[in-house]
């Protein structure tokens, strides 16, 4: 993948915690690196097929001038989100430098950096209470409505018996492939929000539920902490996860077993 880079874009704006920083403009410098395949535009020498860096620089400048944040961390992160939302780029890295930060020691500048990358994520959805299909369709609609999520593929519904020995009613399960630059934890928080909207009851572990949304894979990432485990534990022993995933992503490779889903 190729990249288009912008270095030391100077913008004079108001960002900072101190009251005087909110009214007195000071310089900020931006470095922006965008992963973008410009092979076709280079071959045809056609500006319309690549990123217009003049337009991008003006958008970064306007965003910096039109907003006021306490932290340059916020300015940096939200600039990156703005670029990801506005342009078909694979990833973006943004650095913001603040040479006039109120520090009582000699220094060149203070800077913060962030990188956002579009990642393929595979989800498993299930419901075994009420209008099961309606709950699943609501969940997919809410995914589609999020500005930082793109729904790529949705499997057929798969009806199956409950798993785990606690739930009593049959489930309908589906798999969904999305692309997102939300972190795994940000995505999990949004999935829990959708489950709450569906009035999911978590009082009984593995009990009957209106909606269950799990992250099975997040690209090639492996996580295991008190909040989240990826790949989802025991996914390979659950037909209601594997069968819908085989339909939409048979060639996806598990980062732990190194097997394709089609081989499971």
Residues 68 and 105 in one domain: yes
Q: How many domains does the chain have?
A: 2
Statement: residue 7 has pLDDT above 80? yes
| Boundary (domain end) residue, out of 117, 139, 170 | 117
* pLDDT reported for residue 187: 97
Instruction: Please identify every residue annotated as catalytic.
Output: 98
Statement: residue 202 has pLDDT above 80? no
Q: Summarize the confidence of residues 25-50 as an average pLDDT.
A: 91
Per cent of the chain over pLDDT 70 is 97
Token pair of 111, please? 């800077």
- Write the pLDDT tens digit of every residue in 86-105: 999 999 999 999 999 999 99
| Boundary (domain end) residue, out of 94, 117, 140 | 117
Question: For the domain that residue 10 is a member of, what is the CATH number?
Answer: 3.30.1130.10
- Write the pLDDT tens digit of every residue in 220-254: 999 999 899 999 988 888 898 999 999 999 999 99
Q: Summarize the confidence of residues 111-121 as an average pLDDT.
A: 98
- Write the pLDDT tens digit of every residue in 125-141: 999 999 999 999 999 99
Residues 11 and 34 in one domain: yes
Single pTM value for the model: 0.89
Residues 71 and 201 in one domain: no
Per cent of the chain over pLDDT 90 is 80
Average pLDDT over all residues of the chain: 93
Residues 139 and 256 in one domain: yes
Statement: residue 205 has pLDDT above 80? no
Token pair of 261, please? 């889903």
Q: How many CB atoms lie within 10 A of CB 160?
A: 15
Residues 82 and 174 in one domain: no
Residues 53 and 149 in one domain: no
Per the structure, the complete domain to which residue 16 belongs is given by 3-117
* pLDDT reported for residue 88: 93
* pLDDT reported for residue 165: 67
* pLDDT reported for residue 188: 97
Question: For the domain that residue 196 is a member of, what is the CATH number?
Answer: 3.30.70.560
* pLDDT reported for residue 169: 86
* pLDDT reported for residue 55: 96
């Amino acid at each position: 993948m190729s990249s288009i880079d912008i270095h030391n874009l100077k913008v004079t704006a108001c960002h900072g915690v101190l009251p005087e920083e909110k009214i007195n403009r000071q310089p900020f410098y931006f470095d922006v690196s965008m992963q973008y395949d410009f092979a076709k535009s280079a071959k045809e020498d056609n500006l319309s097929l690549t990123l217009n860096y003049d337009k991008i620089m003006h958008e970064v400048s306007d965003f910096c001038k039109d907003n006021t944040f306490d932290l340059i961390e916020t300015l940096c992160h939200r600039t990156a989100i703005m670029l990801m939302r506005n342009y078909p780029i694979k990833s973006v890295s943004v650095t913001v430098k603040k040479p006039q930060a109120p520090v009582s020691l000699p220094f060149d500048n203070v800077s913060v950096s962030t990188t956002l990358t579009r990642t393929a994520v595979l989800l498993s959805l299930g419901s075994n209470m009420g209008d099961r299909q309606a709950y699943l369709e609501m969940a997919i609609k809410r995914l589609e409505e999020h500005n930082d999520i793109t729904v790529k593929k949705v499997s057929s519904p798969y009806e199956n018996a409950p798993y785990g020995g606690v739930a009593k009613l049959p489930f309908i399960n589906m798999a969904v492939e999305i692309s997102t630059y939300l972190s795994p934890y940000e995505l999990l928080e949004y999935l829990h929000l959708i489950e709450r909207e569906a009035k999911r009851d978590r009082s009984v572990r593995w009990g009957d539920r209106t909606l269950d949304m799990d992250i099975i894979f997040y690209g090639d990432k492996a996580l295991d902490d008190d909040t989240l485990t990826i790949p989802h534990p025991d996914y390979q022993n659950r037909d209601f996860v594997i069968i819908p995933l085989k339909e939409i992503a048979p060639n996806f490779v598990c980062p732990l077993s190194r097997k394709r889903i089609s081989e499971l």
